[in-house]
Structure 1
């Protein structure tokens, strides 16, 4: 440096060497100040995803996040509801780079949780994603926006991708089906399909009934059954239940399609001066 400074003071150095030197200094400074490039990937430790349960759909109380937005000059209009939504396309996954960051829904992204990102589904919503290559499926909570790369339609958490068996490939052809959160679900074991090495969890809908009464005599139960059928069109069942002492005869309306329909039936019964009943899930 001393020799260069001395030449500079005498004007012996031309403009071109100074430009080279300045460029070198800027490159060194930039290299010292720029953060290292962070690449996305899988966690360093092995993860047993068979111990991670699928998301369980829950009714959402409050406004959904479905406001229009723009990204890289492209406008997106999220759906007002996920009801009836179905889509086929390419799924990808995201992991360590985003682990611990905020999602578009304001939650914290956890690559070990059963979540997903979608460009237009309302947040939150629930979907069943099936890998078309092996038939495996998972139920996920959509709480983020994306993916915004190529023709991909959904981004899954690392754990979800591993459950579907494409964590090493990076992408998979999938079917996305929205889940009706007004209908309670239960988790059951599902036998593995061809090529699967582990059991997966599946959600099956519970049957919904409106139980109006539990009477001590069949005659009384059947009389109430006839009275209910004069008011509503839904099926009414009388079933016998034996306890330790006496038999009871339950009078139930159903099975019904969902919780909302069951509540509407209760309103009709109340208008007819009958017992509104209570919800039963089996």
Structure 2
């Protein structure tokens, strides 16, 4: 897949062609969104698609983590072989658990998260809107391991955690 950007309407699917567009419908509320498949996954039994944060927001499913959906391919992958989707160089996967403007709150959540998934850290990021403290947890060589840890975090009170590649 490509470098992950949680703010783009993208998805991971095990078999659909990279670059194709899919319409995703939330079966619980009927909301739909169109996303582009740019990665492989999810590698968890029973799941059919991983959505970016933006895709999940558009379907109003961020807090749920896992939601029943229906997929429909609505656009084919580009056929131009001169510019195929290039895989990103991923050295490892980690989970972003939360982000805070308050450093102390981030530290507390990092401590609590570290009891569930090892390797919890706080990373300071300076943005044009101010400083943000991101709580990350774990360091995984495979997306499947990261997804398993994300599921564990969701069951332990952190349903909004998402996978980040580094």
Question: Which range, TM-score by smaller chain?
Answer: 0.3 to 0.5
TM-score (norm 2): 0.46
TM-score (norm 1): 0.28
Of structures 1 and 2, the one with the larger relative CO (CA 8 A, separation 6+) is 2
Higher Rg: 1
